[in-house]
Amino acid sequence: ALTWGQRLVLHRHKSSLPDVRERTLIAIKPDGVQRRLVGQIIHRFEQRGFKLVGLKMLQASQDVLSEHYCDLRTKPFYNSLVRYMTSGPLVVMVWEGHNVVQTSRTMVGNTNPAEAQAGTVRGDFSIHVSRNVVHASDSVEGAQKEIQLWFQTKDLLDWDSWDQTSTGD
């Protein structure tokens, strides 16, 4: 286990990384909520070292989904995708940290669970592409658009990590 001093050094080192403010949108899809996977998925992102800056549970509207999945409108599975995504509540989150977009995609795994590695969310919790538990933005620009679509700026919190001097007094 690391001492407080070591953790502080690690923290300062992390904070000095140039793109530490990168953000991504992660959504736990209705099957993830139904299967009580919310805690386990959040745990993975916390454990990895990312910072949660926005979180809400909601029932998605058709309008937001048609914007979110606008690139997929012509796909044969589009209507069933929208039915799936509106079949129950989602947990939508914004996570921040160094290279968070790319690292989250790796943590989430291949779109098709048959090709998702064990150890990824999809590789550990799903078997079919139409019930693949989680969404993660696929590029930094895509993440910015998705964050704007799902969140108001005021609902994203820019908080500082505690260090050893923050004991509450």
Catalytic residues: 135
Q: Is 105 annotated to bind ligand? A: yes
Of 51 and 68, the one with the shorter C-beta distance to ligand ADP is 68
Q: Is 111 annotated to bind ligand? A: yes
Does residue 130 belong to the site contacting ligand ADP (CB under 6 A)?
yes
Q: What single-letter amino acid sits at 51?
A: K
Helix (H) or strand (E) holding 30, with range, is helix 30-34
CA pair distance 167, 88, nearest whole angstrom? 41
Q: By the 8 A CB rule, do 84 and 30 touch? A: yes
CA pair distance 102, 100, nearest whole angstrom? 6
Q: Which of residues 73-92 bind ligand ADP (CB under 6 A)?
A: 77, 81
Among residues 61, 62, 79, 111, which is the contact residue for ligand ADP, using CB under 6 A?
111
Q: Residues interacting with ligand ADP, by CB under 6 A? A: 72, 77, 81, 111, 129-130, 132, 135, 138
